[in-house]
A and B are shown apart, each in its own frame.
Chain A
Amino acid sequence: DTGVSQNPRHKITKRGQNVTFRCDPISEHNRLYWYRQTLGQGPEFLTYFQNEAQLEKSRLLSDRFSAERPKGSFSTLEIQRTEQGDSAMYLCASSLVRGGGEAFFGQGTRLTVV
């Protein structure tokens, strides 16, 4: 399968712990996005990479959140000092710079903070 891959699929953590999620985009895609989806809502944009450069961050991305995309390949999203409000589905998507702009999504990482 050459789609977007996210790991882990599920993560349960205690409040105050740090968590890290990984996303492997479609190999030829140079754009990578992170979104957050809470129950009953549509996904909300968190951050965007073009190759290895992080070019846009949402105001939703507090200073406890950090994302990287070393070498323009896989990406990681880290949440420090997790809070119960961080419980959500974290979705990664990738797309090409050229083309119609449709993004292809991974299956997401569901985070539960207890």
Chain B
Amino acid sequence: AQSVAQPEDQVNVAEGNPLTVKCTYSVSGNPYLFWYVQYPNRGLQFLLKYITGDNLVKGSYGFEAEFNKSQTSFHLKKPSALVSDSALYFCAVRDEAGSSYKLIFGSGTRLLVRP
């Protein structure tokens, strides 16, 4: 069964510092990986995805993610955090069993950027 794990419930970082939100995955084949962000009482906004190709994927709002096959990780990064980045971040893997391509989400990591 495919799954993702987000080992940190919360990440705290000062504005202007780099941030990393961790995600590890478990899949039987090649992974299709995604990051989404959720602001309070809102739906999920797509940030970026990895399908194949370069291990460093660039996405929205200055975020990027690094795919590491040997460590089965897909960590989300940003060189300089903003207070407005404070939100809930979800890593997800696409379920390749069946035809739905539904997403399997991690439990989420709350990012708090302090001024």
The residues of A with any CB-CB pair to B shorter than 8 Å are 4, 6, 31, 33, 40-45, 48, 50, 55-56, 91, 93, 95, 100-108, 110
The tally of residues in B whose CB lies under 8 Å from a CB in A reads 26
Q: Are B90 and A42 in contact (CB under 8 A)?
A: yes
Assess the A42–B100 pair: CB atoms within 8 A: no
The reply to whether A107 and B100 form a contact with Cβ atoms under 8 Å apart is no
A103 touches B51 (CB 8 A): no
Min CB–CB distance A8 → chain B (angstroms): 13
Q: Is the interface of A mostly helix, strand, loop or mixed?
A: strand
**B106 pairs with A107, CB closer than 8 A:** no
Nearest CB in chain B to that of A44: its residue: B105
CB distance from B91 to the nearest CB of A (A): 9
* Nearest CB of A to B112, in Å: 15
Given that A42-B106, A42-B107, A100-B49 are known contacts, is A48 also in contact with B44, CB under 8 Å in the complex? no
Among B41, B99, B103, B108, which residue has its beta carbon within 8 angstroms of that of A103?
B103
B21-41 toward A: CB 8 Å interface, digit per residue (1/0)?
000000000001010100001
A101→B31 CA distance, assembly (Å): 12
B90, B94, B99: the one contacting A55 at CB < 8 Å is: B99
Chain A residue nearest to B95 in the complex (CB) = A45
Interface centre among B34, B41, B42, B102 (most CB of A within 10 A): B102
Q: How far is the CA of A44 from the CA of B99 in the complex (A)?
A: 17
Interface residues in B67-97 (C-beta closer than 8 Å to A): 90, 92, 94-95
